[in-house]
């Protein structure tokens, strides 16, 4: 049975995308194959990373479309065209509507740089998450991979990993530690786990048809 077809949506630097591409290269991500990377920011370095890895990459920019609905339709068309079976949000900064998420029930993953339900939801993205964790004074933070539904950072949790906050941390040092010790490990693990489950479902469906 062929590997699960994965599309990755990005907005920025793409270090989480790189972790996925690297795990595919070394074979720890083996049940899924990244076939498409889409960015909502035409200048995202993540697009260069995709190209360097020989993966199809395209920009679909919200400002070009008259509405969020039209933007999401363009995203859905690109996913359909690529035959995506699993969608991974890797630092994708646009909130997707229910109309979109319902098209891929338990088939969209997101990585969030905190231990949900702390420091998550609308407005908690990028450095803001780590600023909030430091302002609150938590001693442990981390990252969460969860399924995506219409509630920002509200879908079922799949994996979490804790990371220590250290004295003297800045939002930048904390962000880096959370990426290195949690995000770049968890996201490829989650991609393999869900891909394996999708493969099993496909095998069961094949046997019963």
Nearer to ligand GRF, 8 or 194 (CB): 8
Catalytic residue among 60, 82, 96, 112: 112
The answer to whether residue 113 forms part of the interface with ligand GRF (CB under 6 A) is: yes
Distances (CA, A) of 112 to 159, 168, 184: 11, 23, 11
Return the range that interacts with ligand GRF (CB under 6 A); candidates 14-22, 33-41, 68-76, 165-173.
14-22
DSSP 95-135: PPPHHHHTTSTT-EEEEESS-TTSS-STT--THHHHHHHHH
Whole-number minimum distance, CB 8 to ligand GRF, in Å? 10
Q: Is beta strand 86-89 parallel, antiparallel or unpaired with respect to 4-10?
A: parallel
Binding residue for ligand GRF, selected from 68, 74, 126, 158, defined by CB under 6 A: 126
Q: Are 80 and 87 in contact (CB under 8 A)?
A: no
* 3 state DSSP class of 54: coil
The answer to whether residue 155 forms part of the interface with ligand GRF (CB under 6 A) is: no
Calpha distance 85→151 (Å, rounded): 21
Q: Please list, in sequence order, all residues whose beta carbon lies within 8 angstroms of the beta carbon of residue 184, skipping any fewer than 6 positions away.
A: 15, 16, 18, 19
Count of residues in contact with ligand GRF, rule CB under 6 A: 16
| Residues in contact with ligand GRF, shown as a per-residue x/- string from 37 to 66 under the rule CB under 6 A | ---------x--------------------
- Annotated active-site residue 112? The verdict is yes
Please give the positions annotated as active site: 112
User: Can you give the binding site for ligand GRF, defined by CB under 6 A?
Assistant: 10, 12-16, 46, 90-91, 111-113, 125-126, 179, 183
């Amino acid at each position: 049975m062929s590997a699960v077809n994965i599309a990755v949506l990005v907005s920025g630097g793409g270090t989480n995308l790189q972790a996925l591409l690297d795990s595919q290269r070394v074979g720890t991500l083996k049940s899924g194959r990244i076939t498409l990377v889409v960015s909502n920011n035409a200048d995202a370095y993540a697009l260069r990373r995709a190209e360097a890895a020989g993966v199809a990459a395209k920009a679909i920019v919200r400002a070009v479309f008259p509405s969020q609905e039209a933007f999401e339709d363009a995203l859905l068309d690109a996913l359909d065209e690529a035959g995506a079976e699993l969608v991974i949000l890797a630092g994708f900064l646009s909130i997707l509507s229910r109309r979109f998420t319902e098209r891929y029930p338990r088939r969209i993953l997101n990585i969030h740089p905190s231990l949900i339900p702390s420091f998550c939801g609308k407005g908690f993205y990028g450095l803001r998450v780590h600023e909030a964790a430091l302002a609150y004074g938590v001693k442990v933070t981390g990252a969460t991979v969860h399924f995506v539904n219409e509630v920002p950072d509200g879908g079922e949790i799949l994996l979490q990993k804790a990371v220590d906050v250290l004295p003297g941390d800045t939002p930048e040092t904390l962000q880096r530690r959370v990426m290195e010790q949690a995000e770049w490990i968890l996201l490829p693990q989650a991609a393999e786990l869900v891909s394996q489950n999708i493969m099993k479902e496909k095998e069961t469906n094949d046997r019963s048809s």
